[in-house]
Structure 1
Amino acid sequence: MLDMSATALAVVQGSYTMDIRAESWLGGVLLADSIPVSDGAENRDRSLSVPEQITLTVPRREGGYDWDPGTDPAHPLAAYGQMLRIDYGVDVGGQMEWINRGWFLITESSTDGDTVSVSCQGLLTLIAEANLISPFQPSSSDTLVSVIRALVEPALTVSFDGTLIDRAVPLGMQWDSDRLGAVTEVLTAWGTAERVTEDGYLLIEPVSDAGASVLSISDDRETGTVVRWQGATTRDGAFNVVVAQGEDASGNQIQGVTYDSDGTSPYAYGGNFNPLPVPYSYQSSLLTTVAQCRTAAAAQLKLLRRQAFRKLQVTMVPHPGLVTGDIVSVTGAGLTNARCAIESLSLPYSPGEQSLTVRVL
């Protein structure tokens, strides 16, 4: 969860007064510090390669300034590298406490009458759109850390969790065009995942659903909180075992296997879903030992559960401290204090309701 004071955390459990503050930056230079946002929304979805999507509505003229970017490449709302820092304000005792929601790249701005519409995406857009112009081949001295830095920096500064153990990259690796795809392959083989922090850094950390609950959510229609099961279920793409395959230094094929042994999982191996193994297979030349294959398989199982597991839809009063990946405790739809992870969310930038999709852990 994003940093908030205890007072603000208490306030956002009920009705409160909110505001949005948007700053525009270009090349490290502040262009505007008080963009008049009249409406908008923030959407995050961990299943997307670029999880964050922002839409803003800005009056064309406000405070004597024309917010129509026109053809000016240095305008605060132009899409030539301009980034917005968004802060969500909560009225605490007559003063606004500002919660930083992060940095977002302007991808499109258009004017219709007296309104300017602005679309933004997360900073991973910089990596997704920057395809390699020639094959990328790591050298004999490269490691997983140095390869990720080479693929991502200087567009984003990379920070690595202190628990990660770096290792050498096998000779002969090559990526032809998809820069973000290359980063994803390295992260998957390492058993890690990436996220852009609210400070604009790319954090690499182990795949995990660990952590304490940051919020308790209870189905209470009178206060506006609604909890219900997501109305979809399918066997398509389901699995109960993950197989990660690689190749050792002698050219022999190796593999590591992880079974879904969670007794609460509807896909658990040996359970009702299928008494036989239903595998999801993954192969990478970055895996050179059985131990690495097992680690990658276990991490891949956790990632796959984010798409293929029981989910709840929650509608509630907006909580500006929540982000995807947060752990919450949910009571409702037949569950009591169920530990859940937020997989997607929609946060309005004007008074309204927030929606969450949470996965039951």
Structure 2
Amino acid sequence: MRAGAPDEVLSGVCGWRPVVSSWLGGRLLAADVPVTQGRAVARSDQDIPERLTFAVPRYDGRDWRPGALADHPLARYGQELQLSIVVTSSATGREYETRVGRFLIVDWDDGDDGAIQVTAAGRLRRVEDAKLTSPTQPGTGATLMSEARRLLPPGMSAGFDPVLVDRPCPAGMAWSEDRLAALREIADAWPALLRTDEWGQVRFRRPLPAVPIPVLSLRDGARGTLASAGRSDTRDGACNQIVARSSAAGAADIQAVASQTTGPMSVTGEYGAVTRHWSSPLIATDAQALASAHTMLASSILPASSIPVMCAPDPRVDLDDPVEVLRDGERTWGWVTGYDLPLTVDDGDMRVDVGVST
């Protein structure tokens, strides 16, 4: 969970203001873009989880239409936007700033309503765009950490959860031209979760634990912020069995199978087996294969059974946060698999998707 205003401030009447600054490399182009409406959205099942859309007036102290200006704050020539939400306590006047993330501008549109519409994507978009010109091999002594850093485009850095244990990359393997696919393979093989943090740094997070310990409670009633909590479920993409193998030369016998054996998605029940095969040369032992299989199984099952929560906006909510949903006396624990955060008070409630293990 991100840092920010405490529950008692967010659950009452408070001030709310988005702060969007524009950067080109290390140069500040605009300290406070005048956002009139917009949303920051993230989904854990997307290759590039984060997306930012907003509107600005055509004229507000300056012309906010980029036109052909390559160094305009809203142009798409490498400009990045840093988004923060500033919440002000109505009781004390204290301000709390929550950094939400850093986004690469991908397009803008000058509509007929006098506003400029801007779309930006999370910084993994830079990784996706910067394809390698040819396949590449890990160097002598390369490890998962060193390869993750090497595969990032210039100007991007990686951070690693302290619980992740580094290990060597096998000799003789090669990466394709797709940098993002390579980073995802490293994350799956570790296993880890590939994310970006509020500063725009690529992060390899620890896998989700078997049982969530909530850091945030979304509740109705007095001092609560929850407006509604429905339920959704889908079979699409919901595998209940993962077969993980090593594709390294001479490692044909390294394989592990992770299966859902309880609940309505059990492989032995009426749901049936929905199997996904995955292989990587980074897998060197049966234990590594099993760890990867279990992580991918959890990632497959978790978003299938989801609680779409509508609540008062809370900029602290982040992907993978363990949360508690309390409505009408019913308590449910799960992890945040997506959110839709309004940027202004006129943009409505916030949606938080909470994945629940079955």
- Equivalent of 1:75 in 53, 72, 95: 72
> Displacement of 1:271 after TM fit?
4.3
What is residue 355 of structure 1 aligned with on the other side? Answer: 351
Q: Does 1:159 align with 2:159?
A: yes
Following the alignment from structure 1 to structure 2, what is the Cα–Cα distance between the partners of residues 147 and 29? 29
Following the alignment from structure 1 to structure 2, what is the Cα–Cα distance between the partners of residues 316 and 226? 7
Contact 2:247/2:279 (<8 A) preserved: no
What is residue 307 of structure 1 aligned with on the other side? Answer: 303
What is residue 66 of structure 1 aligned with on the other side? Answer: 63
AA paired with 1:216? Answer: S
Aligned positions of 1:128-277 closer than 5 A = 128-209=128-209, 212-219=213-220, 225-230=227-232, 232-234=233-235, 236-246=236-246, 250-261=250-261, 263=262, 265-274=263-272
Contact 1:212/1:327 (<8 A) preserved: yes
Give CA deviations for 1:226-246 in whole Å, capped at 9, x if unaligned.
01111x433x54443322111
* Structure 2 SS opposite 1:145: helix
Contact 2:56/2:117 (<8 A) preserved: yes
Following the alignment from structure 1 to structure 2, what is the Cα–Cα distance between the partners of residues 41 and 238? 28
Following the alignment from structure 1 to structure 2, what is the Cα–Cα distance between the partners of residues 173 and 273? 38
Give CA deviations for 1:29-68 in whole Å, capped at 9, x if unaligned.
11111211111111111110111111111111112x1111
Following the alignment from structure 1 to structure 2, what is the Cα–Cα distance between the partners of residues 224 and 290? 44
- Equivalent of 2:49 in 27, 35, 51: 51
What is residue 340 of structure 2 aligned with on the other side? Answer: 346
Give CA deviations for 1:306-339 in whole Å, capped at 9, x if unaligned.
333x111111111111112111111238x72211
> Displacement of 1:130 after TM fit?
1.0
> Displacement of 1:248 after TM fit?
6.5
In the superposition, the TM-score normalised over structure 1's length comes to 0.90
AA paired with 1:39? Answer: Q
Q: Does 1:324 align with 2:319?
A: yes
Following the alignment from structure 1 to structure 2, what is the Cα–Cα distance between the partners of residues 289 and 57? 51
Query: Which structure 2 residue ranges, 5 or more long, are not aligned?
Result: none
Following the alignment from structure 1 to structure 2, what is the Cα–Cα distance between the partners of residues 328 and 223? 14
> Displacement of 1:16 after TM fit?
2.7
* Structure 1 SS opposite 2:72: coil
> Displacement of 1:249 after TM fit?
6.4
AA paired with 1:200? Answer: G
Following the alignment from structure 2 to structure 1, what is the Cα–Cα distance between the partners of residues 206 and 72? 39
* Structure 1 SS opposite 2:234: coil
* Structure 1 SS opposite 2:14: coil
AA paired with 1:116? Answer: I
> Displacement of 1:183 after TM fit?
1.1
AA paired with 1:87? Answer: S
Aligned length: 350
What is residue 337 of structure 1 aligned with on the other side? Answer: 331
> Displacement of 1:154 after TM fit?
2.7
Distance 1:14 1:5, change over 3 A: closer
Distance 1:111 1:299, change over 3 A: same
In the superposition, the TM-score normalised over structure 2's length comes to 0.90
Following the alignment from structure 1 to structure 2, what is the Cα–Cα distance between the partners of residues 239 and 5? 38
Give CA deviations for 1:131-184 in whole Å, capped at 9, x if unaligned.
111111112321111111111143421011112111111122122321111111
